[in-house]
Chains A and B, each alone.
Chain A
């Protein structure tokens, strides 16, 4: 059984650019959630995808968008990057869309300069 894998592990982007982060779900999981974790804080919910549709969204602007593919892998896209977008981005997969134990990847560290 494979866990959740995220790529890349680290990324440096310039303010105003766009970025795409990728996530492969744990085998058998059909729901993917994305979180932003700033230093010294808990993960903040960005959105969740279930059956390729957005199933819930946290307090993030529309420039944060995502996709889920038929194999349940997922992408997080962020447009018009801002300095405050610098954070650890975590992907988590789960068996059910309503709560449920999340299996997390190790995250992508995004630095915006």
Chain B
């Protein structure tokens, strides 16, 4: 399949552990943020989003934290599973959507 993110920052975790992926965004006017997951050979897939009037949002096994003061976003994945292995991107938007460089998550069984 398609290989993406050959030279991206990498996070390696043990199956069952929690993962934290960080992202710094650039535009202080951005008011909507999304985390995407991209598996090999596929396009990015929506995980969770958050608007700037919130600082935390939880989904199923995932939590996004937003710190507007330092323009930082994080994605927490609870009980990481092998199927979580992928490249993760944060995206910000005041209008069109701009993506960060991505982080490759590898889950060891």
Contacts and interface: CB of A to CB of B under 8 A. Distances in A.
Given A43-B44, A99-B32, A101-B49, A107 B2 contact: yes
Contact of A106 (B6, B36, B43, B99): B43
A89 to B, nearest CB: 10
Nearest to B100: A42
Contact of A99 (B43, B97, B101): B97
Interface residues of B, number: 30
Contacts of B98: 45
Q: Which bracket fits the contact residues of A? A: 20 to 34
Interface string B22-48: 000000000110101000011111100
Q: Taking chain B's interface residues, is the majority helix, strand, or loop, or is none over half, making it mixed?
A: loop
B89 A42 contact: yes
Nearest to A107: B43
Contacts of A70: none
Interface stretch (A12-20, A33-41, A78-86): A33-41
A21 interface: no
Interface of B: 2-8, 31-32, 34, 36, 41-46, 49, 89, 91, 93-102
Given A43-B44, A44-B99, A58-B96, 15 more contacts: A4-B43, A39-B3, A39-B5, A40-B4, A40-B5, A40-B8, A42-B100, A56-B96, A90-B43, A98-B93, A99-B32, A102-B44, A104-B43, A106-B43, A109-B2
